Amino acid sequence: PSDLALESNPSDHPRASTIFLSKSQTDVREKRKSNHINHVSPGQLTKKYSSCSTIFIDDSTVSQPNLRSTIKCVTLAIFYHIKNRDSDRSLDIFDEKSHPLTREEVPDDYYKHDPDHKHIYRFVRTLFSAAQLTAECAIVTLVYLERLLTYAEIDICPSNWKRIVLGAILLASKVWDDQAVWNVDYCQILKDITVEDMNEMERHFLELLQFNINVPASVYAKYYFDLRSLADDNNLSFLLEPLSKERAQKLEAISRLCEDKYKDLSKAAMRRSFSADNLVGIRRSNAILS
């Protein structure tokens, strides 16, 4: 991608606006206009504001956002990405017709019908529940998804959304969660997909990201705040608890360490499929930071 595109890429730069929030604004404006015409009250204001020193997130454990609420917001962001996409640019590795996730025959008109929010939510929720992933992982999944769309200059659309989301989850879960989830584990969840296909998709995803998997704390916080704004705009519940500055810094350190490890492995990835077995060293390194 061009230098200008990278400078405006929210997944790299904390001052750049997230793509999903801008994609949602057309619908939000229409909803507010409708409410005004029909004299619908927006309800009692319960919003709690964050400051530069305190990141508010949602969960009784204090260290994680509430999983269900976060997945609802992340999948709503993906829904708006698809619904208000600019075009249908894609790549074969993410096309569900070329690389089906199930044995069921993909309909000929598979590329014409946008998934609704519930459909996207069920797909992501199933993966997160089965693999026991965290809410932080959901936020980073969205960061990697927007980074892919910007770097590869493609759109997320009906024909590729499942595989793009799966690829982003694969990467986010290995980088951010305490327990490594191997590609073969996802094959147990999805049943019909082969580990070879998963490895190939993961390798392409990493190459399209130019092996840039670092997520600065400031970028993570921006995506979190914008997801909260999305929740407010769509009347989704999002209770608040603070996330410490130390935890945010720790997450940034982990992603930097993992990025270095991935770059070291990239040479080997050019010669053979990049598999989860290569990530054992990364998981051991992460344990040092725990």
CB 219 within 8 A of CB 12: yes
Q: How confident is the model at residue 61 (pLDDT cuts 50, 70, 90)?
A: very low
d(CA 164, CA 155): 10
- Condensed to tens digits (0 to 9), the pLDDT of residues 275-284 reads 544 554 555 4
The highest-confidence range among 23-27, 94-98, 182-186, 248-252, by mean pLDDT, is 94-98
Residue 75 has pLDDT above 90, yes or no: yes
Provide the token pair at 242: 């603070």
Q: Is the pLDDT of residue 6 over 80?
A: no
Q: How far is CA 234 from CA 38, 181, 209, 241, in A?
A: 17, 32, 31, 20
Q: What is the pLDDT of residue 64?
A: 47
Residue-wise burial string across 119-155, b where 16 or more C-beta atoms lie within 10 A, e elsewhere: ebbebbbebbeebebbbbbbbbbbbbbbbbbbbbebb
For the stretch 89-121, pLDDT in tens is 999 999 999 999 988 888 889 989 999 999 999
Per-residue pLDDT at 62 exceeds 70: no
Give the pLDDT confidence score for residue 245 in this predicted structure.
Answer: 78
Long-range residue pairs from 170-174, CB within 8 A, at least 24 positions apart, any chain = 170/198, 170/201, 170/202, 170/205, 171/144, 171/202, 171/205, 171/206, 171/209, 171/213, 172/137, 172/138, 172/140, 172/141, 172/143, 172/144, 173/131, 173/133, 173/137, 174/258, 174/276, 174/279, 174/282
* CB of 83 closer than 8 Å to CB of 19: no
| Average pLDDT value over all residues in the chain | 79
Q: Report all structural domains of the chain as residue ranges with CATH numbers, in order of start.
A: 63-264 (1.10.472.10)
Cα gap 69→58, rounded to integer Å: 8
